[in-house]
Structure 1
Amino acid sequence: MRIGLQIPSFTFSGGQEQIAPEFSRIAREADQGGLRSLWVMDHFFQIGMVGPPEDPMLEGYTALSYAAAQTERILLGTMVTGVTYRHPGVLAKTVTTLDVLSGGRAILGIGAAWNDEESRGLGIPFPPIAERFERLEETLRIFHQMRSGDEKAFDGKHYQLERPLNSPAPLHRPHLPILIGGGGEKKTLRFVAKYADATNLFDSPELAHKLQVLQEHCGREGRDYAEIEKTALTFFRTEKPSVDQAVETVGRLAEAGIDQAIFSQGTGQDLAGILAETVQQTKDIVPSGR
Structure 2
Amino acid sequence: MKLGLMVSRFDWPGGCHAYGPTLGRIGQDAEQAGFSSLWMMDHFFQTPLNGPPEGDCLEAYTTLAFVAGQTRSLRLGTMVSGVTHRHPGVLVKTVTTLDVLSGGRAALGVGASWFEEEQRALGIPVLPLSERFERLEETLRIAHRMWAGDESPFEGEHYRLDRPLNAPAALTRPHPPILVGGQGEKKTFRLIAQYADMCNFYEPPTPEMLAEKVKALPPDHPMRRGGGRDPFGMLRRKLAVLRERCDEYGRPWKELEKTTLGGVTLSRAGGPRTMTPAQAVERYGTLAELGIDHAVVEPSDLHRPGSLDLWAEVVAQLR
TM-score (norm 1): 0.94
The residue number in structure 1 matching 2:155 is: 155
Residues 26 and 303 in structure 2, CA contact (< 8 A), matched pair in contact too = no
**Structure 1: how far apart are the matches of 2:13 and 2:284?**
29
Map Cα deviations across residues 133-170 of structure 1 (whole Å, 9 max, x no partner): 00000000000000111101000000000000000000
The residue number in structure 2 matching 1:272 is: 308
2:272 matches 1:244: no
The total of aligned residue pairs comes to 283
**Structure 1: how far apart are the matches of 2:111 and 2:288?**
24
Deviation, structure 1 residue 239? 6.8
Map Cα deviations across residues 158-192 of structure 1 (whole Å, 9 max, x no partner): 00000000000000123211001110111011100
What amino acid does structure 2 have at the position aligned with 1:127?
L
Residues 43 and 57 in structure 1, CA contact (< 8 A), matched pair in contact too = yes
Deviation, structure 1 residue 241? 5.0
**Structure 2: how far apart are the matches of 1:241 and 1:16?**
31
Taking the TM superposition and a 5 Å limit, the aligned residue runs for 1:2-81 are 2-81=2-81
2:242 matches 1:214: yes
**Structure 1: how far apart are the matches of 2:281 and 2:303?**
17
Map Cα deviations across residues 3-56 of structure 1 (whole Å, 9 max, x no partner): 101011011122222211111111111122221100010000000011111111
Residues 5 and 272 in structure 1, CA contact (< 8 A), matched pair in contact too = no
5+ residue gaps, structure 1, are 284-290
**Bigger shift: residues 115-124 or 28-37:** 28-37
What amino acid does structure 2 have at the position aligned with 1:192?
I
TM-score (norm 2): 0.85
**CA RMSD between the two structures:** 1.5
Residues 11 and 19 in structure 1, CA contact (< 8 A), matched pair in contact too = no
What amino acid does structure 2 have at the position aligned with 1:254?
A
**Structure 2: how far apart are the matches of 1:165 and 1:268?**
39
Residues 40 and 78 in structure 2, CA contact (< 8 A), matched pair in contact too = yes
Map Cα deviations across residues 233-260 of structure 1 (whole Å, 9 max, x no partner): 1112667654223312211211111001
2:233 matches 1:233: no
Q: Percent identity, please.
A: 54
Tell me the SS of whatever aligns to 1:136.
helix
Residues 239 and 269 in structure 1, CA contact (< 8 A), matched pair in contact too = no
